[in-house]
A and B are shown apart, each in its own frame.
Chain A
Amino acid sequence: MLQVTGLSGGYPPVSVFRDVDLTVGEDEAVGLFGPNGHGKSTLLSTVAGLLDPWRGEIRFDGRRLNAPGDMPARLSRHVNYDLFRPRRMRARHAVRAGLIYVMQGNRLFPEMTVDEVLGIAPKAAMGRAGVGEMYDLAHDLFPVLRRRRRSKIRYLSGGERQMVSIAVALLAVPRLLILDEPTLGLAPRLRLELAEAVGRIREAGTPLVLVDQNIEFLTGLVDRLHLFVNGTIAAEIDRTERPSHESIMTLMFGGAAR
């Protein structure tokens, strides 16, 4: 489904992640786990086309999403390269292919109502069938959507906003869904609720890339789990055996050194 090979990127001139290889198969859920500030979200934003990849390849369904070749170097520090260099990847192409990304802590559109936001969401489906079922699924997962349909997003709580974000992504009829820390900053009860929702999305057959800081949350939901440290995928964690604190620490800070 998704094949990321040798991907490097960041915010020029600062490189954030390097040589990342990641594959997600049909009907598979892959987890990414790692400490804050090590570039997980930057990686996913790049995969979703919000940032230009520097090097490497993003293939979705065998089709290459980013422009071939490496990003040309910026020789001058001040020349406005945005003027004449086209983007190397566009989010709307990824969305059109069905690669849907739910940003971390998405603020969404503060002055629009829930209904309005959900109303424009199916445009991202680009004519893929199944908006209706997804609409039902979303409302089934999050009954709060119907209750708060006329509220502006900015009056929603963090958890509700997260639910709207996920619902928006569902309405795009994702063929692969990337969830970036869906439970960030939520109360334990809400976290459980969201975990359950993610589980049901998983059961519905949507391939997932799931990022979280909470390894418990991840191991319950994904087929494979990668450790992401210092801008690269450092190791694969055996999901069946719950790793201890010590072993995670060693993986992160000791084991990563060859």
Chain B
Amino acid sequence: MTFETFQFILASGLILGGLYALMAIGLSVVWTTLDVFNFAHGAFVALGAYIAWQVAQYGEGLWGFVFAAGVSVGLMFVLGFILHFCLIKPFEKRPNIVLLAVITTLAASVVIESLIQLVWGPREKQISPAVSGRIEVFGTGFVANDVVALAVALAALAALALFLRRTGTGRAMRAAAQNREAAEAMGFNVTVLYATALGIAAAAAALAGVFIGSLRFINPSFGADPLMKSLIVVIFGGVAKFTSPIYAAFILGVVEAFSIYFLGLYWSPAVLFGLMVVVLLVKPEGLFGHRRKTL
């Protein structure tokens, strides 16, 4: 294996990792703040992609793509924000909220998927990429769209990290995630903060969906695959902190890229799952996790 091939595999692994991180971050933000597992996450990814596809029909090229992505992310944020009040908030005082939220989010994903089916039909679609052609980085040529995807994913993750660590609202959100009652006693509107968390998760899912939609074909039920992928990432990294799935996503992306190269497409899922089994047996709370959750 030449150094160039190595570089190429590493880079495509990182791109994959970026997408995985974007998908998984939403799951982990919702879990760390709301204490529930969002089964509608895959449907969020799909819906985000379809909205972007629809908007992209009205404009071509880079700006069309940017506009489409922006509209999709914005709309999905609003949808996530609203869905909090329908799916999760009504149960916040109930002891079995985890179970109730599982069924409401599952039902939401069924509804979203069926609506996509009704509105856009079952035919496969693709969003035209933001940029076409190839660019050269460190002497290796890449599909430009991939590089953009990675860059945007990294930028989005960094922005989210900055938001949570540095801004007042972000800190308040972390506070509300760590101790709801104390945050309430400090005068924060915890409900709105929680809804924002679901909005952010939906927006991140939409962004991931937009890029997936520009890399390959989408159909109404394609969200199931990202959901499972994010799940693996989250198991791998643990959900204790919102950063842990990010590291895990990049590790998994790189491992997947290498195993595709060396073992082929057929076996690479098996490698991933094998890795996951090892993690589960050795450190069931995830590589970077500890058993307590925090945002």
A residues within 8 Å of B by Cβ?
48, 50, 80, 82-83, 91-92, 95-96, 101-103, 106-112, 116-117, 119-121, 123-124, 126, 168, 172
Given A82-B90, A82-B92, A91–B175 Cβ distance below 8 Å? no
Within 8 A of A (CB), among B158-189: 168, 171-172, 174-175, 178-179, 181-189
In the assembled complex, which residues on chain B have CB atoms less than 8 Å from the CB atom of A112?
171, 174-175, 178
Min CB–CB distance A96 → chain B (angstroms) = 7
**Given A82-B92, A103-B181, A107-B182: A119 and B171 interface contact (C-beta under 8 Å):** yes
CA A112 to CA B91, docked complex, whole Å = 27
Find out whether the CB atom of B90 lies under 8 angstroms from the CB atom of A172. no
A95 and B90 contact, CB distance less than 8 A: no
User: Is B128's beta carbon under 8 Å from chain A?
Assistant: no
Residues B178 and A116 in contact, CB atoms below 8 Å apart: no
The answer on a CB contact under 8 Å between B175 and A109 is yes
User: What residues of chain B lie closer than 8 Å to A96, measured between beta carbons?
Assistant: 187
Among the listed A50, A102, A111, A126, which residue makes an inter-chain contact with B174, where contact means beta carbons less than 8 Å apart? A111
Contact partners of A95 in chain B: CB under 8 A: 185-187
CB distance from B23 to the nearest CB of A (A): 24
Does B93 touch A at the CB level, under 8 Å? yes
Option from A83, A109, A172 in Cβ contact (under 8 Å) with B182: A109
Task: Say whether B185 contacts A107, CB under 8 Å.
Answer: no
Q: What number of A-B contacts does a CB cutoff of 8 Å give?
A: 74
Residue pair B168, A120 in contact (C-beta under 8 Å): yes
In whole angstroms, what is the CA distance A195 to B175 when docked?
Answer: 28
**Are A124 and B181 touching (Cβ within 8 A)?**
no
A interface footprint on B178-203 (CB within 8 Å = 1, 0 otherwise): 11011111111100000000000000
Q: Please, how many angstroms separate the alpha-carbon atoms of A95 and B174 in the complex?
A: 20
CB contacts (< 8 Å) of B241 on chain A: these are: 111
Contact B175 A107 (CB under 8 A): no
Nearest-neighbor residue (CB-CB) of B176 within chain A: A109
| CB of B109 closer than 8 Å to a CB of A | no
In the complex, what residue of chain A is closest to B293 when comparing beta carbons?
A111
Chain A residues lying within 8 Å of B90, measured Cβ to Cβ, are 80, 82-83
B92 and A172 within 8 A (CB): no
Given contacts A82-B93, A126-B187, 17 further A-B contacts (CB under 8 A): A48-B185, A92-B184, A92-B187, A92-B189, A95-B185, A96-B187, A102-B185, A109-B178, A110-B178, A110-B292, A111-B178, A111-B241, A111-B295, A117-B175, A120-B175, A121-B186, A124-B186
Please indicate the chain A residues that have their CB under 8 angstroms from the CB of B182 in the complex. Answer: 103, 106-109
Across the interface, which residues of B come within 8 angstroms of A101, CB to CB? 185
Whether B294 is near chain A, meaning CB under 8 Å from some CB there, is yes
In the complex, the chain A residue whose C-beta lies closest to that of B294 is: A111
Instruction: Please indicate the chain A residues that have their CB under 8 angstroms from the CB of B168 in the complex.
Output: 119-120, 123
CB closest residue in chain A, given B184:
A91
